[in-house]
Every structure is written in structure tokens, then in C-alpha cells.
Amino acid sequence: MPLSRRTLLASLALTASGAGVAAGSTGAAAREGGEAGRAVGRLLPGHKDQVEFREAERRPGGVDWFRVSGGEGAIVVEGTSPAVQLTGLHWYLRHAARASFSWNGAQTRLSARLPAVAEPVERTANVRHRFVFNDTNEGYSGPYRTWGQWERTLDVLALHGYNEVFLSLGADAVYHRAFQDFGYTDAELRAWIPGPAHQPWWLLQNMSGFGGPVSRQLLDARAALARRVADRARALGMTPVLPGYFGTVPPGFADRNPGARTVPQGDWVGFRRPDWLDPRGEVFARVAARFYAVQGELLGTSGMYKMDLLHEGGQAGDVPVGEAARAVEAALRTARPNAVWAMLGWQNNPRKEILDAVDRDRVFVVDGLSDRFPTVTDREADWGGTPYAFGSIWNFGGHTAMGANTPDWAELYEKWRTEPGSALDGIALMPEGADNNPAALALFSDLAWTEGRVDLADWFAEWPAYRYGTGPGGRPDPQAVAAWDVLRRTAYGTTRADSWSEPHDGLFAARPSLTARSAAAWSPQQLRYDAEEFARALPALLAVDPALRGGSGYRYDLLDVTRQVLSHRSRQLLPEIRAAYETKDRGRFAELTGEWFRWLDLLEKAVATDAGHLLGRWTAEARAWGATREERDRLAYDAESLLTVWGTRQGANDGGLRDYANREWSGLVSGLYALRWRTYFDELAAALAENRAPRQQDWYALEEEWLRGHPPYATEPTGDIVRVAEEVRDELGLHAPGLDRG
């Protein structure tokens, strides 16, 4: 009987990646629990001897599953790979031990002996592909992360059930080495490759060079780290999804390589795009072969490669797109015969001509628009039955805003997955910047391991128990449940009906204007939920039993809600400031702008309490990769410019990229954001006093000057988020009857 398309796709990916450890593994690794056991040693060192891991065979078609059983202090987890075993352990921790891990905080307050499993629990993944990370993730989440940070990330992803991890780290070294065989010098290529923060867009063929040149030392260090990350993913049974080669070339390639034909790609938001090498020629085949050979040497091989031809406005010229796609696929098959070609579902990508030309049985689309536009309803028709993953991009640029369209997840995922003839065979978690929205991470991940539709009211009622632990009787704290019910109905209750998948950002981060409606040019222009209703979550969280407030999960959530309440003040105040200015009420204008900075200062105090909200930490991580002072300065600029001007003057101003990656972080709030608004309001006050029109400000020049000359910012958190949150609550009079414990 021939394999179904889904089964073939899954078996190709699993076979090519070498994912998983053979069932019945023996020796020291098995006795220690292998990779899963070592992860528990990192995460729960005091309890690692109370968990036994066992390998299990996959079910027909490569389906993953786990089973958890055992008595007190003797938990047994069976699973089809080390990562799936960790998924099973995390399921047990949440539901039986009332503990959890996330990329933002954890709840690890456990009894000395782990509680018994009342009845064995078995879960089977309802899709084969659990894909994670956007193409842009490395830029917006941390282009200068250390091995320790990557190790923690992989542990958290395994705990949440993912088995395919996009990894762009190290691609710079592959291009650098490969193209030296095609007429380019070491120095030319290092000047062509952007700084690490901007490399995702270079790999998408959108830009080159900005933030460079990169050094040999940096390339070698990043390649070594990438190999370590990829090898750990493989050891966990996860597929490191690597960039494939589809034709990006350095300038002047055809002049140096007889027979090559290149197509200019024009501009992308103020940047000149790299040329595209026509894939139909013999030169392309040679370049691709060398690319995959070098990649294999540096990073190892994979069962899945990600490529997107003609991304966001790329030009095909007179090259037939279908023929080009077949040639790209042929090069991939020559180098990696069993690999799956992953494509991003975004705008008009993947094009129909591409899918019609290639072998759909070996293609997988990770959809970035499943929960955005209400017109996205039939991906089988859109992509001709190509297997795909239900995906979410809940933020763009790594914005710190809370929220996601969870009602769409609950409704659409199960509906689309179970429709007759459905090609849905995966989930794809793809915020442009990860490391935020821990509730969204947990809920979205649960889709793949839940039988039937997720009940959001039940899920959010249980979430506080996983996140903060339980009180007397093993029940969630009622005040925490009340807080999360508010959050469920507001920040996590939005839907794609308004054509957005991300929350609104705050105006404190906007380039100053009395008519500003968002900080990022392409973000929602108005509130997506009721800000006053949202604020009710703050006093509820502050009323949680003090015994449950010690964990990092609670502190992170309290910070997130406090930050969001403060962020909303910008949207409430700015129209009032505008009215005062337009009526020339100088007293009222001064009063309101003073209030603006009072809230801005409180926002700075709040975000300064958390290490993950420090610009100083972000910058210090970048500097740590530099070998010389000049390189350290260059890397710091690469990292900070991405969050502010993003790139060139043209891209920032005309292209709309400025503040695309805005975030409410300590250092940005008290530094650039405060500087811009103070400059602006001072000029408006002077214009009122002198009865004249305000002078225009060159904001890009001000931002560049700040980037090049601001003082160092703190790399360690300061203050107590509980005290700051209480101050915000009291300032706004948010005491809610029946919530305070006293």
C-alpha cells in the first residue's frame, strides 16, 4: 500500500534528521536518562533521581507519543524521543505537581518527593510537525545569545513538545566559506555579510552589509556555537531546520563566474537587495553543491531546509518561476535526497507556480497567517493540498505587548485539522521575537497534544496553578484565577476579525507626534481590547496569596501586567495633550505633559526590575562577542539600531522601519523614548509661549546621536516589581472590592 503524503513527509523528515534515539537504548546514557535525564539535571537537580525515562517506538506514520506513570518519588516517562519524554514530564509537572517552565519564568516549588501519578497518562501528538521560530527570531530575540541561553531555550522547547527548530545561526560562516570558491576574497565577503542582528533579512534576500563588516573571529565563534546548538537539538530528537540555498549571491557575481546569469532584485524598504542567481544554470548547481557541502561540514545535515524564493517583492525577471523552483529543489535533492523543503506562508508566498512545479510530498508550509486575516479560510485550496502547519505570529519586531488571538487558535486549529481532506499536519509557533507571552507559548503548544478543541475558560482557570503553584487543598489561588480570567477576555481574547494577530503597542515608544496612533508603522492603530477592563487584572494579581508570589513566573506576569497598564496610559493621555495644545491652554499642557513623564518614569521603574527588560543586558551581550574595542562598538550598534532606527535614514523614515522593533525596556524608556518626547514637548511649549509654529525636528539625527553616544545602561535588575505594581495600583485607584487580602 503506498504511503500517504503526510506519512511520506513525516518519514522523510525523521529519517533525514536522524531524530530520536533507537528504542531500547542501553549503556550509561540510558541509565542516566540520556538527554532527557541531563535536561532534568539542569532544570530540577534536586529531583532528577526521581524520574526514569524510557524510549518508545513511534506509532505508524512516525507519530510521537508519551506515557507517564509511577508512584511517589518514582516517576516513569516513556516517549518516542528525548524531547517527547521531556514533553511528557512537563505535562506531569503541570497537571500533577503544579509546576512549569517557560522562556519567561518558572514555578519549581516542589515537595521533596514528586507526587504519584494517580492514573497513567498517555498523550499522542495529533500532528507530526511542531515547528518553532520565525525567520527573524534570531535578530529580534537575541542575535548574541550564549550557549547557556541556547541550552535553556532548547530545554524549554522540548518541554513544550516541539520537534523542528529553525536555526539561522551559523549561516554567515557557510556563505563566507562557500563563496571564496567563486572569486571573492575573505574581506569582500565579510563586508557583504551584515552584523548578526540584521542577518535574518540578508538570508531572506532583503539586504546585505548593514552592521558589518563581520570579523573572522566572529564568524568562527558563531559557527562553533551553531554546531553545538544543532547537535544538541539532534541529541534531543529535534530537527534543526537549516537555511537552504536558493540563489543569493554577492555583488558582481556574473562578472566573476562565466556562464552565470543574475537577476537584480531591486530595493526592500530602503535597502538594495542582493542579486538572485538564475537557478536553471550549471553555475547555480555548483554553488548549491558547495553551499550544502560547507554547511554539512560546519553544522551537520538536516531533514528539513527552509527557503523562500522572491520573498516580499523579489523580482523573477524573465526567469520562469516554476522552472527556477524545480532547479532549486533538484539542488536540494542532490545534496540531501530525503530532505523536506519548508516554506513560509506569508503574503503571496509560496507562489502557486512554485508549488505546481515541485514535489508537494516533500514540501511543508509553515503558515504565518492562520490567525490573522479572516479571509484566510482554505489552505488546501490556496496551496493545492500541500501539507502545512497552523501558525501564529503574535508579535512583530519582538514588541513587549501582552496578548494573542487565542479564540482563533481554539476554534480554527481543530476545525481545520479535522476537515475532510485536510492537509494540516503541524503547528508553527512563529512570533518574530520570542521570549514573551508565556501563556501563549503554553496554550499554542498544547494544541498539538490535546484531544479535541481546547476549552479556553478551563485552560486559563488552570494556568495559574501551573504558573504559581497551589494553595490549601491543591487548588489555584482564586485571585490569580480572577486575574487570568480578565486577561483571557482582554489581551488573550482578541480575534482576527480586525485583521490583526498582534497586540497594539504603546505610544511612549513612538516617534513624537500629537496624532501618533502606534509606535511601529505596521502595528494596530488602536486598542484591540478594553484597557480599563484589562487593568482589573493588576489588583487581582497583587492580591494573590503571598506564599505563591516567590516564583519567577509570578514576578514576570506581575511585571507584564504592570507594564501593559502603564503602556495604556500613553494612549489615554496623548489625545488630552493634543486637545490642550490645540486650544493653546499652556497650563493644562504643562500639567498633562508632566503627568506623561511621571508615568514614563514609573514604566522605567517597572521594567528595570527584570533582567529580560534591560537594554544594557542586550548591549552587553553584543559587546561580549567583539575581540577589539572597534568591533565591540560595531556589534553594539548592530544590536541597538535594530530596536530603534533599524537601518538607514531612508529605511527608517521613508521605509517606515523606525521603531518596528520597539519594546518597553529599561534604558530605551528612560533613554531614547524620554529624550524624544521631552525634546518634542519642550518645543511645543516654546511654540505656545512664543505664539509660533513648532520647529521641525530631525528625529533620525537625534536617534543616531543617541545610539552613538548614550551612556552605558544597567545590566542587572533593580527594584521590586511588587512595590512598583502597588504604586501603579494606588496611583490609578485600582483597588477592587473583595480582592485585597489586607
In a domain, 585, yes or no: no
In a domain, 573, yes or no: no
> In the listed set 457, 491, 514, which residue is the last one of a domain according to the structure?
457
Q: Looking at the structure, tell me whether residues 281 and 146 fall in a common domain.
A: yes
Q: Looking at the structure, tell me whether residues 50 and 166 fall in a common domain.
A: no
| Residue 513 CB neighbours (<10 A) | 12
One-character DSSP codes across 441-505: HHHHHHGGG-SS---HHHHHHHHHHHHH---GGGPPPHHHHHHHHHHHHTTT---GGGS--S---
Mean pLDDT by 10 residues, the chain (742 residues): 45 43 35 85 97 95 95 98 98 97 96 96 97 98 97 98 98 98 98 98 97 97 98 98 98 98 95 97 98 98 97 94 98 98 95 96 97 96 97 97 98 97 98 96 98 97 97 90 98 98 98 98 97 98 96 98 98 98 98 98 98 98 98 98 97 96 98 98 98 97 98 98 98 70 36
> In the listed set 457, 476, 492, which residue is the last one of a domain according to the structure?
457
Q: Looking at the structure, tell me whether residues 439 and 374 fall in a common domain.
A: yes
pLDDT at 738: 55
> In the listed set 84, 108, 124, which residue is the last one of a domain according to the structure?
124
CATH assignment of the domain containing 45: 3.30.379.10
Q: State which residues form the domain around 58.
A: 21-124
Q: Looking at the structure, tell me whether residues 354 and 245 fall in a common domain.
A: yes
Q: Looking at the structure, tell me whether residues 142 and 105 fall in a common domain.
A: no
Q: Looking at the structure, tell me whether residues 167 and 120 fall in a common domain.
A: no
Q: Looking at the structure, tell me whether residues 187 and 109 fall in a common domain.
A: no
In a domain, 556, yes or no: no
pLDDT at 32: 55
Which contacts of 54-60 are long-range, i.e. CB under 8 A and separated by 24 or more positions?
54/78, 54/79, 54/85, 55/20, 55/21, 55/22, 55/23, 55/24, 55/25, 55/30, 55/79, 55/80, 55/81, 55/85, 56/23, 56/80, 57/23, 58/14, 58/20, 59/124, 60/7
In a domain, 286, yes or no: yes
Q: Looking at the structure, tell me whether residues 139 and 100 fall in a common domain.
A: no
CATH assignment of the domain containing 286: 3.20.20.80
- What is the rounded distance in angstroms from the CA atom of residue 568 to the CA atom of residue 542? 19
pLDDT at 473: 80
Interior angle at CA 348, CA 345 and CA 354, nearest 5: 80
In a domain, 540, yes or no: no
CA distances from 274 to 264, 268, 310, 413 (A): 7, 10, 11, 37
Q: Looking at the structure, tell me whether residues 311 and 164 fall in a common domain.
A: yes
Q: Looking at the structure, tell me whether residues 149 and 210 fall in a common domain.
A: yes
- What is the rounded distance in angstroms from the CA atom of residue 722 to the CA atom of residue 589? 32
Contacts of 593 (CB under 8 A, 6+ apart): 577, 681, 685
Q: Looking at the structure, tell me whether residues 254 and 338 fall in a common domain.
A: yes
One-character DSSP codes across 276-297: EE-TTSHHHHHHHHHHHHHHHH
CB of 261 within 8 A of CB of 281?
yes
In a domain, 523, yes or no: no
pLDDT at 735: 77
Task: Indicate the pairing of strand 106-107 with strand 100-101.
Answer: antiparallel
pLDDT at 474: 85
* H or E stretch at 36: helix 34-43
In a domain, 481, yes or no: no
Q: Looking at the structure, tell me whether residues 278 and 383 fall in a common domain.
A: yes
CB of 262 within 8 A of CB of 281?
no
How many CA atoms does the CB half-sphere of 160 hold within 13 Å?
29
In a domain, 533, yes or no: no
How many CA atoms does the CB half-sphere of 216 hold within 13 Å?
5
Name residue, grid cell 530631525. Answer: 698
Q: What are phi and psi of 706, to 5 degrees?
A: -65, -45
Structural domain total, the chain: 2
pLDDT at 9: 52
